[in-house]
Amino acid sequence: APPIAPMAARRGADEMRDRVVLGEFGVRNVHTTDFPGNYPGYEDAWDQRRFEEAFRVDVIREEEDTLEFDMVGIDAAIANAFRRILLAEVPTMAVEKVFVYNNTSIVQDEILAHRLGLIPIRADPRLFEYRNQGDQEGTEIDTLQFQLKIKCKRNPQAAKESSDPDELYFNHKVYSKHMTWVPLGNQTDLFPDADFRPVHDDILIALLRPGQEIDVLMHCVKGIGKDHAKFSPVATASYRLLPDITLLQPVEDEAAETLQKCFSPGVIEIQNINGKKVARVANARLDTFSREVFRHEGLKNLVRLARVRNHYIFSVESTGILPPDVLVTEAIKILMGKCQRFLNELDSVPME
């Protein structure tokens, strides 16, 4: 076989290193291959300076509870470490113990306790310590106490013919807003301007009928998502690779319109050039890669679908306990702590 021209070989290697290619039946180049000596002519040994030049973080969209940012120039293992720390290792405060003094509602005690545990509590976990194992009693440094005391009564002013429970009864819906903070020890002095409460006021906990009541005391402690999902600070934390769509040939007229329909809205735009409709890639980032284009015989060889291997689009959605940007910085601190512990272990273990 004739030798491949050096330029073509270089191009092929570049594609393998930089792109994950989506074919009609499968995905190519999924493995990380940029380890030293794998490709002749490439300097792939780890170099801090080169990493710092190539690495960057771009914040794309920041709202109250959602954050979208790009992390460019890292490996999948690091990106995944951030995702998993966000899900399972950034601590929050959540209801751990429920003391039931009275519960005559139809919700069983353990179901009620479980529901209360899942209510996100707006309290900065950095203000508290972890509770020591085996401690039954909480103290002001490791516990937040909430009370829920509510009784349902008939409304004597209700119209005779009314069938609406909202009109017939008082307090027949128990909401998270009925949970009140009860300071422990010297917490009133420790947190003079604190506003410890559930993140949302309108979470329905139970329904009551006249004469039924709930009287419980709750202890919130600090914990991590590894131990129980109620401690997870994010609703979702995920990443995807940046899409990269290349048109290999000009696509015109009807084909251009079909092509536009194959992708998510906003990905392909149609321009009018000399009376001809011509397709161009406007914003590949918006695509979800349904691969619809591969169902069209005339189009599937005109497009290359790929993803940029080292460009991660993260989206972090907070449950509202801490803002998402704080969660990300906390996750980075936790990863730094892990690295530091590992280095200390290496230093303390005598080498053979």
Residue burial 76-85, b: 16+ Cβ < 10 Å; e: rest: eeebebbbeb
What is the structure's pLDDT at 130? 94
What is the structure's pLDDT at 213? 96
Helix (H) or strand (E) holding 151: strand 144-151
In the structure, how many helices (H) and strands (E) does the chain have? 8, 18
Low-confidence ranges of the chain (pLDDT < 70): 1-4, 352
pTM: 0.87
What is the structure's pLDDT at 298? 87
Contact 87/101 with Cβ under 8 angstroms? no
Cα–Cα separations (whole angstroms), residue 298 to 134, 248, 259, 263, 294: 68, 13, 10, 16, 9
DSSP 203-227: -EEEE--TT-EEEEEEEEEEE-TTT
Residue 122 in 3-state DSSP? strand
Task: For the domain made up of 92-232, give the CATH fold.
Answer: RNA Polymerase Alpha Subunit; Chain A, domain 2 (2.170.120)
Which CATH number applies to 11-90+233-248+302-341? Answer: 3.30.1360.10
Contact 103/251 with Cβ under 8 angstroms? no
Q: Domain extents for the chain?
A: 11-90+233-248+302-341, 92-232
What is the structure's pLDDT at 216? 98
